[in-house]
Amino acid sequence: MQHFTSSLLKIGNRVNTESLDLLYQQYSRQVLSTLIRLLGEFELAEEAMQDAFYAAMQQWPVDGWPEHPVAWLITTGRRKGIDQIRRRQTARRYADEQLHLQDEAEPELDPTAIQDDQLRLIFTCCHPALSADARLALTLRELCGLTTEQVAAALLQKPTTLAQRIVRAKQKIKAAAIPYEIPHANELPARLQSVLQVIYLIYNEGYSSTSGTQLLNIQLADEAIRLGRQLALLLPEPEVHALLALMLLQHARQHARQNANGDLVTLEQQDRTLWLRPMLDEGLQWLALALTKPPAGVYTLQAAIAAVHSNATSYDETDWQQIQGLYQLLYQQWPSPVVALNRAVATAMHQGPEAGLQELDALSSHKAIQNYHLFHAAKADLYRRSGQFQPARIAYQRALALVQQEPERRFLQQRLATLPN
């Protein structure tokens, strides 16, 4: 396990708020995952984690930074959780658990077990007893620490609906005593699709944050890739290999996707010499492995699209006809408005902006896509490319009204400002 203090800001034995904030951002989900295993309940673990971080804020400035901060937080959180159970011992539903935890010795915090706790949490949240929407919402909320609003934006749903779904999912996990474990080998295939979808949504949040001041969350993307590697060892199936390929091929562009000021750089403008060639090569190897067992699934097709981009020496040399065909195959398997949006952009690049705009117009009847800022941003770009500046201006303004991420907002504002009058 990496040394947890390597990236934290320290001055002697003093601890500042910035360093604790960074620790929370980087490791709170890891702490929570282990506390759920140790305490056996989502809400209790969440409260215990917050209590542990509060204790750190009080103690570390006085006592100094512990050698292993995450282990300290997990141990302290467990003790805080047990204290809460003891305070509630008059409630019957906690009585048995309280007696069990009182007699249990302090667990040894094995680094490998701590890392595996996040994979266990994914499988718990993706249990088939939960609805598909609930699995996604719960995992993004608990494993990634996204707010309800961020999860709703990622899933194109209302925050109030998501909040209710998450609460019901937690209640069902508790009522049905869903185990906190990685399933047996014979149960893995039935759980695979939900887990793949969740890992990729985690990666997407790292690849492009739904809101906030940063375009990328490298640590979150790295974590999704780590989980993908673990899953590939557990279940070496083509779609697992393809998902890992897809994440690696996209993640290899990380240094070219923003400039020194943190501004977004489009694929068209990226310096491809900044793409990480070893990561691209590894992604292509995983894709080749996935392609040995047809038919191609949704992640294999998406990885193939990413591979076409990675093999192009420049934007102008991109094989847009092949990408358009791959998106058409993907849409046949996964007829979502977002896939249709990407297909329309590929059509525009291959056949011209008017052809792409026709496909986007056909999407206008989808209510969810109307609240998706990238739909309006794509329309604005195609109007701009075709010289229709007034419709482009309206579409950019609509996209700006919906966007929640600052680098994307700045990009859209710059594009809007450069439109001819």
Tell me, what DSSP letter sits at residue 271? -
- State residue 105's pLDDT score: 54
Assign 318 a pLDDT band (cuts: 50, 70, 90): very high
Over the Cα atoms of the chain, what is R_g?
Answer: 23
What's the rounded Cα separation, in Å, for the pair 347 and 363?
14
- State residue 5's pLDDT score: 35
pLDDT at residue 4 tops 60:
no
Ranked by mean pLDDT, the top range of 166-170, 226-230, 321-325 is: 321-325
Q: pLDDT tens digits, residue range 170-228?
A: 999 988 888 888 888 788 777 788 889 889 988 998 899 888 899 998 888 998 898 89
What's the rounded Cα separation, in Å, for the pair 85 and 91?
9
- State residue 12's pLDDT score: 36
Contact (CB, 8 A) for 211 and 405: yes
Contact (CB, 8 A) for 144 and 29: yes
For residue 109, what are the CA distances in angstroms to 28, 47, 122, 309, 323? 16, 20, 20, 43, 47
From the list 262, 50, 244, the residue with the least C-alpha distance to 145 is 50
Domains of the chain by residue range: 1-107
Structure tokens at 305: 């699209």
Bridge partner list, 11:
14
Q: pLDDT tens digits, residue range 351-369?
A: 999 999 999 999 988 888 9
Structure tokens at 190: 């039935």
Structure tokens at 338: 């977002």
Q: pLDDT tens digits, residue range 332-351?
A: 999 999 999 999 999 999 99
**Statement: the pTM of the whole predicted model exceeds 0.85:** no
Q: pLDDT tens digits, residue range 86-140?
A: 877 655 455 555 445 544 555 556 666 666 788 888 888 888 888 878 887 888 7
For 300, the 3-state DSSP assignment is helix
